[in-house]
Structure 1
Amino acid sequence: MSRAEGAAPSSVPVRAVHRLWTLGLLRSELTVTFRRWRTLALLVVLAGVPVLIGIAVKIETGDGSSEIDGGGSSPAFLSQITNNGLFLVFAALAATLPVFLPMAVAVVAGDAIAGEASAGTLRYLLVAPAGRTRLLLAKYATTLAFCLVATLVVAASALAAGALLFPVGEVMTISGVPISFGDGLIRVGAIAVAVAASLVGFAALGLFVSTLTHSGIAAMAATVGLLITVQILDTIPQLDAVHPYLFPHYWLSFADLLREPVYWDELWKNLGLQGVYAAVFGSAAWARFTTRDITA
């Protein structure tokens, strides 16, 4: 038997071992991340925000009035919560997306690589056969899983609180067209997925920052600092020309899913922008991590 004939069969088990190790690594990353007290605390805080909003609205309308007057400062959907508790989901997502959700993602993404380096466990992870690229992909996939879980936690908490504190039933869309409660629940699921997808680009940015330092705390702080800076830039009228290129600019476009028919323009712009940020900063994170001198 020639060497060429003998080499082919042996390559299959090697690829299978790499694939199994990668799946095991992803499973391990997910388990470790979602078992950390810090992660659980973040999810608890996120779950508490809709409850606090619901209680505040309930107290404000305790005199029997059917609506609250936000004076133009209330988040979208807030004045409609008393008529239908399902709107608490939309109000809670609108309230948490600009600050609470991305800050939670910043903690997870910023700690992904830098936290391992700080703890001295990064070089041990790289001894296994999957290599740096697969480790980075596993870290990013775990961060994306957290984005989805965190968003679903907010939506589920708001749905439960809304059903307990307020009546639920037929949903009046922004366009003034009523839809059934079942259709409203479908819109809730679609909006939750859209909100989670809105964090894809920011998660890649946080992962890139995490590859630049050996300190998890520094990476988290830098990611949060970038979030605040970009959001401030997005509010400056003189920078209108660059606003469409800032990752949070279309975050609240999920509200268009409550129109009848649905407006897709800004939703697609948001997904496209997040994809660009994910590609750019994901590539930058890969380039940095695969050439980085790992000493910890």
Structure 2
Amino acid sequence: MLPVDATAKPPRGSAWSLLGSELKVLFGRRRTWALLLALAAIPVLIAVAVRLSSTVPAGRGPAFLDRISQNGLFVAFTAMLVSVPLFLPLTVGVVAGDTIAGEASHGTLRYLLVAPAGRIRLLLVKYAGALAFCVAAPLAVALAGGAIGAALFPVGPVTLLSGDVIQPPEAALRILLIAAYLAVSLAGLSAIGLFLSTLTVVPVGAMAATVVVSVVSQILGQLPQLEWLHPWLFSHYWLGFGDILRQPVLWDSFASNAVLQAGYVAVFGALAYGRFATKDILS
């Protein structure tokens, strides 16, 4: 049994080396790359399906689907919209749920704490790694969507939701802004996954619970009887990136989303620390 020492200060520079090691391990895993490749496959499948189909009925299917054949940049917009409800939360849930529970299941958590890292520092590093994946996941969808769209369809000026027309370079910047919006949107879910990961030594359980929480939040967000609760759900602003497709860009949803996610990070980060700082590490 390891004694609890949340105040131990590691040598200077050890936090950065620990973060570098975490990112190296995370992005060196075949599972991480399999998740990113699975996300990148979404725009590829959409683009190939549109390319092989003779017509795309207007008004049916995801937003922007009927515009893809005229402008390949809409592949990225459509793919990110399709990825939000399930695929992005699923992959983030896998990574976040594995943060602490994965180390415990492999018997390495004890050795990480024997090293001069400190529990709070280790927790912060694990969350930073999960946040890095939150950035990489929507970026993989955006880049794959832009690449396959440009390869299979013509690329030209994009008509925004406000009716304004922008040139492809600015449209590419809007795609990256949407990816950033989604990365912020996933920060709260990642904090929930970190907390759930401190409750068990079975990573699959934490992963599944994180995904279930995501699904439940979205279901609650669809119930009109719970309209009073909707602004407090971490998934409430997930689809608010439509404001980025206006001229000028409306930042209200971005700011409200960031504040909401910061609240979830603070609450579940504190819960994760409270649990982890008093937990007996036996493996």
Do these two structures clear the TM 0.5 threshold for a shared fold by scoring above it? yes
Distance in 1 between residues matched to 2:11 and 2:45, nearest whole Å? 47
Of all paired residues, the percent bearing the same amino acid is: 53
Q: Does 2:50 align with 1:57?
A: yes
Q: Does 2:25 align with 1:32?
A: yes
1:68 to 47, 52, 57: 57
Find the counterpart in structure 2 of residue 253 from structure 1.
240
Structure 1 runs, 4 residues or longer, greater than 6 Å off:
none
Distance in 2 between residues matched to 1:293 and 1:77, nearest whole Å? 51
Distance in 1 between residues matched to 2:145 and 2:113, nearest whole Å? 41
Q: In terms of Rg, which structure is larger?
A: 1
Question: How far did 1:266 drift?
Answer: 2.0
Please list every run of 5 or more consecutive structure 2 residues that lacks an aligned counterpart in the other structure: 1-7
Question: How far did 1:264 drift?
Answer: 2.1
Aligned residues: 276
- One-letter code of the match for 1:267? F
Distance in 1 between residues matched to 2:145 and 2:245, nearest whole Å? 17
Question: How far did 1:56 drift?
Answer: 1.3
Write out per-residue CA displacement over residues 118-149 of structure 1, whole angstroms, 9 at most, x where no aligned residue: 11110100011120011000000000001111
Distance in 1 between residues matched to 2:77 and 2:222, nearest whole Å? 22
Find the counterpart in structure 1 of residue 3 from structure 2.
none
- One-letter code of the match for 2:57? I
Distance in 2 between residues matched to 1:26 and 1:271, nearest whole Å? 24
Distance in 2 between residues matched to 1:169 and 1:27, nearest whole Å? 40
**Greater relative CO (CA pairs within 8 A, separation 6+):** 2
- What is the DSSP-based 3-state SS (H/G/I as helix, E as strand, rest coil) of the residue aligned with 2:134? helix
- What is the DSSP-based 3-state SS (H/G/I as helix, E as strand, rest coil) of the residue aligned with 1:249? coil
Find the counterpart in structure 2 of residue 92 from structure 1.
79
Question: How far did 1:91 drift?
Answer: 0.7
Distance in 1 between residues matched to 2:172 and 2:19, nearest whole Å? 31
Task: Return closer, same or farther for 1:70/1:55 CA change in 2, 3 Å cut-off.
Answer: farther
Find the counterpart in structure 2 of residue 19 from structure 1.
12
Question: How far did 1:70 drift?
Answer: 4.2
Which structure 2 residues correspond to residues 209-248 of structure 1 after superposition, within 5 A? Answer: 209-248=196-235
Q: Does 2:39 align with 1:46?
A: yes
Higher helix share: 1
Native 8 Å contact 1:250 1:266 kept in 2: yes
Compare 201-210 and 232-241 and name the one that shifted more.
232-241
- What is the DSSP-based 3-state SS (H/G/I as helix, E as strand, rest coil) of the residue aligned with 2:116? coil
1:119 to 106, 128, 144: 106
Distance in 2 between residues matched to 1:136 and 1:220, nearest whole Å? 17
- What is the DSSP-based 3-state SS (H/G/I as helix, E as strand, rest coil) of the residue aligned with 1:263? coil
Please list every run of 5 or more consecutive structure 1 residues that lacks an aligned counterpart in the other structure: 1-13
- One-letter code of the match for 2:13? L
- What is the DSSP-based 3-state SS (H/G/I as helix, E as strand, rest coil) of the residue aligned with 1:257? helix
- One-letter code of the match for 2:88? L
Native 8 Å contact 1:57 1:68 kept in 2: no
Native 8 Å contact 1:201 1:278 kept in 2: yes
Tell me the TM-score normalised to structure 1 length.
0.90
Native 8 Å contact 1:110 1:220 kept in 2: yes
RMSD of Structure 2 on Structure 1 (CA): 1.4
Which structure 2 residues correspond to residues 278-293 of structure 1 after superposition, within 5 A? Answer: 278-293=265-280
